[in-house]
């Protein structure tokens, strides 16, 4: 019994540590940019943990973290139901200048931020107000 409790405690501690690491990455996403659950998971060394990244964001509901800047790999706002209303996530992104494709997805070709790759180049604003990112 004591061994089972110790295992449960270790598992909970590991989950809390992973959640805290997710929150650290999310806090660094620049305004006007988005990243994906999978990019966060990969950056943290566990590519298959994209769903757990989502759980970490759900646990951060009501915090000051910019959770609205995390979308799925297709640019869809799959987390939108965890905000104050179904359109809050989109409204926050649009207020930061994020654009969407005709089918309602975030234009990842313009706004994708990849942790660890774009850290020193959060995007520069061109004269027309668009954000460009460095490739390669």
- Phi, psi of 121, deg, nearest 5: -140, 75
Q: What is the mean pLDDT of residues 5-30?
A: 78
Q: Give percent above pLDDT 70 in the chain.
A: 75
In a domain? residue 12:
no
In a domain? residue 17:
no
In a domain? residue 116:
yes
Which residue, 122, 76, 131, is CA-closest to 100? 76
In a domain? residue 80:
yes
Using DSSP, how many helices (H) and how many strands (E) does the chain show?
Answer: 5, 4
Kindly indicate the confidence band of residue 3, based on its pLDDT and cuts at 50, 70 and 90.
Answer: low
The pLDDT value given to residue 62? 85
In a domain? residue 30:
no
Please give the tally of structural domains in the chain. Answer: 1
Q: Give percent above pLDDT 90 in the chain.
A: 65
Q: Which residues contact 40 (CB under 8 A, 6 or more apart)?
A: 22, 25, 26, 50, 53, 70, 115
- Whether the pLDDT of residue 93 is over 80: the answer is yes
30 CA to centre of own chain: 11
32, exposed or middle or buried, with CB in 10 Å at 0-12, 13-18, 19+? buried
In a domain? residue 71:
yes
Q: What is the mean pLDDT of residues 17-22?
A: 95
In a domain? residue 61:
yes
- Whether the pLDDT of residue 51 is over 60: the answer is yes
Q: What is the mean pLDDT of residues 50-60?
A: 95
Write down the pTM of the prediction.
0.77
In a domain? residue 25:
no
Domain residue limits at 78? 37-122
Give the residue numbers annotated as catalytic, written as ranges. Answer: 67
């Amino acid at each position: 019994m004591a061994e089972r409790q110790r295992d449960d405690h270790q598992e909970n501690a590991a989950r809390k540590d992973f959640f805290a690491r997710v929150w650290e990455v999310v806090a660094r996403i620049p305004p006007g940019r988005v990243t994906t659950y999978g990019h966060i998971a990969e950056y943290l060394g566990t590519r298959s943990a994209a769903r757990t990244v989502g759980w970490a964001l759900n646990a951060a509901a009501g915090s000051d973290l910019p959770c609205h800047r995390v979308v799925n790999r297709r640019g869809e706002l799959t987390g939108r139901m965890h905000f104050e209303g179904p359109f809050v996530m989109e409204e926050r992104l649009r207020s930061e200048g994020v654009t969407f494709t005709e089918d309602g997805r975030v234009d990842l070709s313009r706004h994708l931020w990849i942790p660890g790759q774009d850290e020193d180049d959060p995007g520069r604003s061109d004269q027309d107000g668009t954000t460009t990112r460095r490739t390669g």
